[in-house]
Amino acid sequence: MYSVLVVDDSPFIVDVFVTMLERGGYKTHSSYGGNEAIDILKTVTPDIILLDIMMEPMDGWETLVHIKNNPATKEIPVMMLTAKQLTPGEAQEYGIYIEDYILKPITHRELYEAIEHVLNRKTMIKTDMERATSVGVESELIHEYGRLVKSVDINRRLLRILENTYHIADSQIDLNDEITMAIKSMGMNLQFQEMRIQQIRDEISKKESMGSVSQ
């Protein structure tokens, strides 16, 4: 049974998500603010954290940075679950830290699917890295691959959210140049990351082929 820490400064919202999660078979922990969440994490290690952004006095981004700067908690996946629209600046600054950005309201099924996607991706990356290690791929390359696969998956999601938020596909919308450039920059960076992943996959395949020939 996976465990989930729900963090929101609204007790009502926490109760709603705890009820949804428990119906889905998850074990839950509740926190009503960023400081409380950090205290709870001193004794509890959930499989995933659902973190709201618009909290006081410590907001979700501040809480996220505290979690990721602590060696004891930095590996815990964090999903931002919020009603706040994502900005390009937030995507660029915090995208490296988060596993997903989910806008409320959300259905039971959407929530379960989002959580399972994050946990399944973590398992898939671990399996790929173990396979690469077994055929003799360099450790540095393997860890680069793991970081990139996670980053690409997250950034695809963030980019779609931004494109929908700012109606990038609508030629009639007059966007602020800064917003347009930031979104285009994210798209270009995503393409470079995808190219690099393919290069590493080709290298892993080559190592596997060499191993098969030598046997």
Lowest mean pLDDT, pick from 7-11, 47-51, 83-87, 195-199: 83-87
Q: Phi/psi zone of residue 68: left (φ > 0), alpha (ψ -120 to 50 degrees), beta? A: alpha
> What's the total number of domains in the chain?
2
Task: Specify whether 77 is located in the same domain as 124.
Answer: no
Task: Specify whether 126 is located in the same domain as 200.
Answer: yes
What's the pLDDT score for residue 127? 94
Task: Specify whether 60 is located in the same domain as 124.
Answer: no
| Residues 60 and 31: beta-carbon distance below 8 Å | no
Q: Give the tokens for residue 73.
A: 């908690």
> CA separation (Å) from 65 to 3, 84, 90?
21, 18, 12
Task: Specify whether 4 is located in the same domain as 79.
Answer: yes
Please check the confidence at residue 213 and state whether its pLDDT lies above 60: no
Task: Specify whether 126 is located in the same domain as 58.
Answer: no
Query: With 0-12 CB in 10 A as exposed, 13-18 as middle and 19+ as buried, what is 171?
Result: exposed
Which band of pLDDT confidence, cut at 50, 70 and 90, is reported for residue 211?
low
Q: How many CB atoms lie within 10 A of CB 13?
A: 17
Please check the confidence at residue 194 and state whether its pLDDT lies above 80: yes
What's the pLDDT score for residue 175? 54
Task: Specify whether 8 is located in the same domain as 56.
Answer: yes
Percent of the chain at pLDDT exceeding 70: 93
Q: Which of 68, 84, 100 is the last residue of a domain?
A: 84
What's the pLDDT score for residue 214? 55
What's the pLDDT score for residue 184? 86
Task: Specify whether 124 is located in the same domain as 198.
Answer: yes
| Residues 53 and 87: beta-carbon distance below 8 Å | no
Domain annotation covers residue 130:
yes
Q: Give the tokens for residue 210.
A: 């060499």
The interaxial angle of helices 11-23 and 108-134, nearest 10 deg, is 70
Domain annotation covers residue 98:
no
pLDDT, one tens digit per residue, over 58-68 is 999 999 999 99
Task: Specify whether 6 is located in the same domain as 71.
Answer: yes
**Which residue segment(s) compose the domain that 166 sits in?**
119-208
pLDDT, one tens digit per residue, over 75-134 is 999 999 999 889 999 999 999 999 999 998 899 999 999 999 999 999 999 999 999 999
Domain annotation covers residue 106:
no
Task: Specify whether 195 is located in the same domain as 123.
Answer: yes
Domain annotation covers residue 152:
yes
Task: Specify whether 125 is located in the same domain as 199.
Answer: yes
pTM (two decimals): 0.88
Domain annotation covers residue 104:
no
Domain annotation covers residue 107:
no
3-state secondary structure of 28: strand
The strand ranges marked E within 83-201 are 100-103
Which helix or strand (DSSP H or E) is residue 205 part of?
helix 177-214
Domain annotation covers residue 108:
no
Mean per-residue pLDDT, 154-179? 75
Which band of pLDDT confidence, cut at 50, 70 and 90, is reported for residue 207?
confident
Lowest mean pLDDT, pick from 147-156, 161-170, 182-191: 161-170
Q: Give the tokens for residue 31.
A: 């926190």
Domain annotation covers residue 40:
yes
3-state secondary structure 39-93: HHCCCCCCCEEEECCCCCCCCHHHHHHHHHHCCCCCCCCEEEEECCCCCHHHHHH
* Mean pLDDT score of the chain: 91
